[in-house]
Every structure is written in C-alpha cells, then in structure tokens.
Amino acid sequence: MRTDTEQTIYLKDYAPTPYRIVSVDLDFRILEEATRVRAQLTIEPRDDTAPGTPLVLNGDGLKLETIAIDGLPLVLSAYAADADSLTVVEPPNRRFVLDTEVMLQPEANTKLMGLYRSSGTWCTQCEPEGFRRITYYLDRPDVLAPFKVRITAPLAVAPVLLSNGNLIDKGDAGDGLHFALWEDPFPKPAYLFALVAGDLGSITDSFTTQSGRKVDLAIYCTHGKENECHYAMDSLKRSMAWDERRFGREYDLDVFNIVAVSDFNFGAMENKGLNIFNDKLVFAEPNTVTDANYHSIERVIAHEYFHNWTGNRITCRDWFQLCLKEGLTVYRDQEFTSDERSRPVQRIHDVQNLRSSQFPEDGGPLAHPPRPDSFREINNFYTTTVYEKGAEIVRMLATLLGEAGFRKGMDLYFERHDGEATTIEAFLKVFEDATGTDLRQFGIWYLQAGTPQITVSDSYDAASQTYSLTLTQKVEPTPGQPDKQPLLIPVRFGLVGPNGSEMSWSGVSGGTVKDDLILLDQPSVTLRFTGIANKPIPSLFRGFSAPVKVSSSLSQSDLLFLAGHDSDPFNRWDALQTVLTNLIAGAAQGRPRADSDLDGLRQAIVDTLENPELDEAFKANVIAIPGESSIGRHIGKDVDPDAVAKARHDLLVALVKPIEARLEAMYRSLETSAAYSPDAKQAGERSLRTGLLNLLVAGAGRSDLAEAQYNAATNMTDRYAAMALAARHWTGNAQALLGDFRTRFAGDPLVFDKWLTASAQASDDGVIERMRATLAAPDFPKTNPNRLRSLLGSFVMTNPSQFARADGAGFRFITEAVAEIDKVNPQVASRVLTGFRVLPTLEAGRRESGKAALEALKSQHQLSRNVGEILDRILGA
Ligand code: ARG
Ligand code: ZN
C-alpha cells in the first residue's frame, strides 16, 4: 500500500530552468503561533525561453496566502497553486518581481526539513529539498541568487536572529518584536539558505586570513553550554588555517557563525556563513564525551568549513552530482585530520569505516554508483558510497597525479568554476587539462557500482631471477548494472625481501609501473620483475591505495612476516587483520584450525604490543579484533551470525588465555593520573588501554577489570568504554553498570545516547524486550533523531546476531519501529531500514524471515517515499 508518488527522476532528463532568479528578498515574521514568509523573487526569462512559457515553482506542504507580480495581485486564472507547486501561467516576457506569502507551522514540522523548532529555537534545514517547505521556489542547486533576509521575531523568546552573510541592519519592530536584516552577497542555491531565531548563548573569537582580513567567529548554543564549545572553535580556526596552507583557500565573508541544535537529521550543514550543527558534534567536555567524540567534532567542523569552497563557491548542477561536493570534501577533511593527527592511524580509521559501512552497501541490494543516474528520493542518496567512496576516488586521483599534479588540478578547478553549479565531468576535466592526463577510464569509478575484487598470484624463478606478479580485477553485478568495465586501479606496492627490507628490480615488463605504483588498467595484468635475487613477499595496495577487496595467495606466515616488517604501517595492520579474519571465518565455516596458527598470531600481537617504535593508537588498532559483521561480510553468503559470534569468541579465548597475565600487566601500566587532554597522544594511550581491556573481557572473562575501570574513571572515554564492553558481552555486572550510568548522567540527552547505544549492543536474548520497553516509555523522545539512531541504528548496524536472530524477533522489532517513526520523520526511518541490506548474505531461514518482516511492512502501512524506495530496493522490486 502506498499513496506517495513513486516517480523516478533521471539524470538524462536534466535541463536548465526556463527562468532565472536574479535576486531573492525574504521577510520572515516569526510569532509563537505561526510564521509568515513573504518572498519577493526577481525573475527573468532566459534568452531562449519562448514567451508565455509557464513558470513552475516547487513547494512542499505550502499554502499560498497572497500572490502578486510587480505589485499587482494575480487573478485566479493567472496561476495555479497547490501544496507541492505554484504555476504562473503566463509570466511577463521580461524581468519581474513575483511576490508571494505563505504561513508555516514550524512547531508541527517533525520531518525536520524546512523551518522547524528545536527546543524552542527556530531553525532550518534545506539540503537537498527543504527550501520548498519554506516558500515556493525553483528549489534546485543550479538556480543561484543573492539573498536578502529580514527576520522579525519576539525579542523575549528570540533575541538572536541569524541568517547567511553579513548583518546589515537591526532594530526594534514594536509590539515586543525586533528585527535583523542579513545580506549574502554570494549567489547561492536555496539549499544553502539558513535561518536561526532563538534565545541562545554564544562564544566568540576571530580569525585573520592570509590576506589580513579579520573574520568574526561565533558559536551559538543553549545557555549554559558555552563552555563546551571551545574545542569546536579551536577546530574551526585550525581548519581555516589549514585550507589556506594546503589549498590556498581563504574565507570570504566577514562573519562565520555556527549554531548547535538538538534536533537534527544528520551531522551538520554547510549553509553559507551559518553552519548548523547537530549539537553532539559541537559540545565537548571530558566527563560527558569521549575521545572519539572529540575526533568527530574536529572532523565535521572542518568538513562543513571546507564546503565553503567545495560545495558553496562551487556547487552541484543537480543532485546526481552530489559526490562532486561530498566526496571531495570528505577527502579534504580526511587530509586535514591526517595532518593534524597521525596519518597512518587516520588511514586505518577511514578504511575501517569504509569497509564496515561502504563495502556492505556496495555489495548488496542498495549498491549504487557514486554518481547515480536515477532516484526516487534524493535523501536516500546521502550515502557512504557518495561520501566515503567518493573520497577514495579523489584520493586515487591524487595518487595517480602526484601531489603537485593534484594541486595544479585543484587550483584550476577553483579558478575555472568559482561561482558555478557544475558536474563531475567538469571536475575530471580540470585534472586532464592541468596535467595532460587522459582520465576517461579513471572516470568509470564514478559511474560503476560495486567493490572491485582483486585476485593476486605470483611465482618466482630463481634461475632467471624473475618474479612474476599477476593481478586480476573483477566487479560483481550490482542492481541495474549486470556488466562491468575494467577500472583504472592504482596499486601502490613494494617487494619485501627475506630480511624485511625493500627489494629493487633491474627491469619490469608486462604492464605499467611508475616507481612504487602499478597501474592496473586491464582485467588482468602480469608483471615480470627481473634482477630479483630472492623470492619476495609482495606488499600490495599500500596505504589502501584503492577501495578494493584483495584475495591474496599469501600464507599466514607471509602475512605475519609483513605484519612485523612491512615499511608501510597500513599494510602491517592489514596483514594481521587478514590473518584474524581468515581464522575466525574459517572456524565459523567449520574449518579446523591448527594450534601453530594461533601461536604465530599470538606472537605477532605480542611483538607489536612490545615494539617501542610503534605508537599506542596504532597498537590499539592492531589488537582490535575484526567484529562479527566484518567476519560475516568476509564469508559473504549463507552466514549464520551465531556461528560467527561463537567462532570469534572461541578464538579470543584461545588467543588471550595463555597471555592473560601479560596483557593485564600492560593494561595496568597504561593507567595514568595525568589530567585529561583530548590530544592524539593521550587518546591513543586510552584506546590501547581499552583495546587491552576488550581482550581481557572478551577472551578471559575479566569483567572485574571493566567494573574497576568504570568506577575509577575520571573521564567519559574510560567510563563509557568499560560499560560498553560489559554490556556487549552481557557480563554479570553489565546491568548494574548500565543502571549506574543511567542515573549518574540522568538529564543529559547526549549521554543518554551513549546508554542507548551500549544497551542496543548487548548480546543476550533479552536485548529486544529491553529495547521495546525503552522505546515505549512515555518520556522517550520519539521525535529526536539522535535518540532514535542511538538505539535503533546501533542495533541494526552493530548487533548482527540479535538483529538477524533466527526467530525473526530482531527484524520484526525494527520494521515495527520503522512503521511508527516513518509517520514522524521519514529520513530517520529509511536510514534505520537500510540495515536490512545484509539479508542476501544470511542463511536461508534468516533471509526468509527478514523478507517476511519487510513484506509485512510494505503491505500493512502507508509508507513515505523515503522508506518505500529503500524497501523496494532491498526486496529487489
Ligand atoms: N551537506 C551536509 C554535509 O555533508 C549534509 C546534508 C545531508 N542531507 C541529507 N538529506 N542527508 O555536510
Ligand atoms: Zn558534506
């Protein structure tokens, strides 16, 4: 059953609008009961527009109150208005001003798109299609105009009035009202519009740009939270300096404002000069947020700031090009974090994230190219493929062109396209023109879905001192793309000799090799290296030089050798992860394991832990045992999550038991009385300590250590880690720790999210009933995306054995919750539903019960376009 439209939008149908919007004047009159929006749009036909062509503006749930052109009210026959569009039948064949008024009910807007109210504050979210919920408009990214915004509101409830650009006037408006007038000189698409009105506290600072202009910075938040905004401010200033240093990009307005709100559909939004943030990505204070939170705040503050050039100054022609701004900006924020912290550790972090969220998307029913060519609901395409795979594509480009070539291309991009709404083709073209490289084959990365699978085989001929290496690429079919073309894949590599050092070669034939880079551009390439004195071990895809899966022919002992000797830290880490994954996956599929396998692995882990040259954060990553989901994905099909969980647990026990005392000693040696600092060094030490605790709890049942750490903790990082571990393993003291945590931090919604997440990850069979009770509690805030995602999102994405329980209870719990949430907030509902993308990997019984839950959702409920589209794609409809 569905009432919403199922219309599909195609990239091939793109055409510019017949009318341009020359300028925009908005007048918001905000009152408690309702908000009146008056829009005066200066519009003109394009040169080639036939006289009399109707003007069709987008709307969404609007009600037109008045309409006039050049001051004259329109007669009824001159226009047609409904909730979703406004048509002016025969507009003047010259420049004119269209003047409309609508009334909005922000209080009733639970979708959190358009103008809504969050904890008393009026705020907006317009990307991608929220502006049409504010006024009738050509709501698409290729319509750019300068905006002037007048806001009038009651002084008592909304002393702070903000919009994009510069404040040009403010004052009293009588009757207890006041006003502010904002002007943004930079033409922008409507999705970058923002408005905030409320009673907010703030912190201020300033930044002087490289050319000497002073920019006023402010972060606004709920009163009382000001002191928790300093880390965000510091991150902002570091981001501004970095973008000047690394890309020569200077900020362009006199003010830069950030506002933290509690109800927000995703992380944050790069509105011109007025970024709006989910408050969880602003507030930082050691007792209530973790090191990981600090890390995310720094990253997202940087991400939104970087959008000012990659997204705002140069925007997207249409939403199919979303990756143009998101992939590129994620690449930029990853680079920023790498420069600010440890590059290898950041790379491991980003790859773990890619593998755990993007690979499953790309290998399942929701797979789509980074640049899709059709969609029903664009909100469903703000995906990890567009963002994170998009960043990997930019990273490969930088690898192929080298640092200098990449920078030349970026400079040309900014020079050539500033002020435009452009495309991915235009982006690739600047690199071709700047460096003289043909990127036609490389461009396929944007158009083709699926993770390439690389098969490696090699042989060594001692007599001729020749080493042969064969690399084969293959991409499995994905929805709508049965046949795949070969990609251009940069393979950064080295040949590691028997003593652990790099081997050089006197010649190479059979393919393209430039220094330490193989260009794999055929379905299969065999390279012959000559002048090789001993059989080398190949270290391939160093630094994860391409987003691919590799099945290598390396034995466990070769992998362990790389883990100990590779000069590339990423591959050292990856080699051990591969060994662990192979062992657990093998056991889950009934392959027996030899004791000697474990001895070597255990020794490699101990060697890493005891190596004084490696930093703590790196070691923490090495001992992070691949999770159940990741093992399940490695197995790929007919997965029984219970068998995976058991195999993983058994391995941990066998691995840890013999070295329990040593691990405990290391764990204790990392205890510190130093005052908390979120810096990378301290955070690395804490994460290593947590990693050791994880081994001890999971492999040796040491819940006593978790409890002791929980009680002794002097910061949230240590306290949360201890509780979360106990909860996940559902140790005897888990319930007590969860209970203590809940009361200790009662009244702090962002800490409640942590409790919800930890609760949702419990591995015991009682978890679903407890979650049902949590959700059904009368005071559970069912309109808040953070709360819902913490509980339901964590469950579907990180509790695979309970979500995919054999009796189907996990699936039903989620589809029932989705049906209910969909009525309130379709974006949150459809996001939660994407967890069902694992179905094709599961064994038949679970697959069927998952499908049954989805079929019931489809037949019994009226669903939003958001949820309807995801549901149909997962069901393969
Ligand atoms: N442009 C924002 C960012 O990545 C996110 C907007 C997300 N919008 C959405 N509908 N999911 O920085
Ligand atoms: Zn972004």
Whether the CB-CB separation of 539 and 571 falls below 8 Å is answered with: yes
Best residue among 139, 265, 266 to mutate for probing ligand 1, ranked by most atoms within 8 Å of CB: 266
Query: Ligand 1 pocket, 194 CB below 6 A?
Result: no
The pTM for the full model equals: 0.98
For residue 639 the two structure tokens come to: 């997965």
Each residue of 774-813: pLDDT tens digit? 999 999 999 999 999 999 999 999 999 999 999 999 999 9
What is the pLDDT, as a whole number, of residue 597?
A: 86
What is the side-by-side order of every strand in the sheet holding 537-540? 512-514, 517-520, 489-496, 537-540
Query: Ligand 1 pocket, 304 CB below 6 A?
Result: yes
d(CA 609, CA 665): 12
d(CA 798, CA 790): 11
For residue 347, which of 360, 338, 359 has the smallest C-alpha distance? 338
Query: What is the chain's length?
Result: 877
Query: Ligand 1 pocket, 568 CB below 6 A?
Result: no
Using the mean position of ligand 2's atoms as its centre, give its distance from the Cα of residue 387 in Å.
8
d(CA 750, CA 521): 48
Using the mean position of ligand 1's atoms as its centre, give its distance from the Cα of residue 264 in Å.
11
CA 418 to chain centre: 26
- Residue appearing with tokens 């439209």: 5
Using the mean position of ligand 2's atoms as its centre, give its distance from the Cα of residue 310 in Å.
9
Q: What ipTM, to 2 d.p.?
A: 0.98
Within 10 angstroms of residue 575's Cβ, the number of other Cβ atoms is: 27
Residues around ligand 2, an ion, CB closer than 5 A: 326, 329
Partner residues linked to 455 by β-bridges:
472, 551
Query: Ligand 1 pocket, 127 CB below 6 A?
Result: yes
Whether the CB-CB separation of 55 and 93 falls below 8 Å is answered with: no
Provide the 3-class DSSP secondary structure of residue 130. coil
Q: Whose CA is nearest to atom 5 of ligand 1?
A: 269
d(CA 412, CA 408): 6
Using the mean position of ligand 1's atoms as its centre, give its distance from the Cα of residue 547 in Å.
23
Using the mean position of ligand 2's atoms as its centre, give its distance from the Cα of residue 311 in Å.
8
d(CA 521, CA 472): 10
| R_g of the chain computed on alpha carbons | 28
Query: Ligand 1 pocket, 799 CB below 6 A?
Result: no
Please, what are the domains in the chain? Answer: 1-199 (2.60.40.1730), 343-551 (2.60.40.1840), 586-701 (no CATH), 702-732 (no CATH)
Q: Whose CA is nearest to atom 8 of ligand 1?
A: 127
Query: Ligand 1 pocket, 311 CB below 6 A?
Result: no
Q: Whose CA is nearest to atom 2 of ligand 1?
A: 269
Using the mean position of ligand 1's atoms as its centre, give its distance from the Cα of residue 686 in Å.
31
Whether the CB-CB separation of 832 and 793 falls below 8 Å is answered with: yes
For residue 662 the two structure tokens come to: 């040593």
CB crowding 833-850: b at 16 or more within 10 Å, else e: bbbbbbbbbbbeebbebb
Using the mean position of ligand 2's atoms as its centre, give its distance from the Cα of residue 306 in Å.
9
Using the mean position of ligand 1's atoms as its centre, give its distance from the Cα of residue 9 in Å.
20
The CA-atom distances, in angstroms, between 383 and each of 322, 386, 387, 457, 788 are 10, 5, 6, 34, 18
All residues at 6 or more sequence positions from 77 whose CB lies less than 8 Å from its CB, including other chains = 89
Q: What is the DSSP letter of 824?
A: T
Provide the 3-class DSSP secondary structure of residue 3. coil
Query: Ligand 1 pocket, 125 CB below 6 A?
Result: no
The CA-atom distances, in angstroms, between 251 and each of 90, 207, 305, 412, 607 are 42, 10, 9, 18, 47
- For residue 54, say if its preceding peptide bond is cis, omega within 30 degrees of 0: no
What is the pLDDT, as a whole number, of residue 15?
A: 98
Each residue of 207-220: pLDDT tens digit? 999 999 999 999 99
From the candidates 129, 270, 304, 869, which is the catalytic residue?
Answer: 304
Query: Ligand 1 pocket, 494 CB below 6 A?
Result: no
What is the pLDDT, as a whole number, of residue 4?
A: 46
Cα-flanking dihedrals φ and ψ of residue 201, to 5°?
-90, 175
Q: Whose CA is nearest to atom 11 of ligand 1?
A: 382
- Give the ligand 1 atom nearest the CA of 304: 12
Query: Ligand 1 pocket, 379 CB below 6 A?
Result: yes
d(CA 653, CA 647): 10
Query: Ligand 1 pocket, 129 CB below 6 A?
Result: no
| pLDDT block averages, 10 residues each, the chain of length 877 | 68 98 98 98 98 98 98 98 98 98 98 98 98 99 98 98 98 98 98 99 98 98 98 98 98 98 98 98 98 98 99 98 98 98 97 98 98 97 98 99 98 98 98 98 98 98 98 98 98 97 97 97 98 97 98 93 97 98 96 88 96 97 97 97 97 97 98 95 97 98 98 98 98 98 98 98 98 97 97 98 98 98 98 98 98 98 97 94
Q: What is the DSSP letter of 503?
A: P
| Ligand found nearest the CA of 301 | 1
What is the pLDDT, as a whole number, of residue 608?
A: 96
- Give the ligand 1 atom nearest the CA of 269: 2
Best residue among 112, 188, 269, 322 to mutate for probing ligand 1, ranked by most atoms within 8 Å of CB: 269
Question: Catalytic residue at 304?
Answer: yes
What is the pLDDT, as a whole number, of residue 594?
A: 84
Residue 222, H or E segment: none
What is the pLDDT, as a whole number, of residue 5?
A: 53
For residue 184 the two structure tokens come to: 């943004």
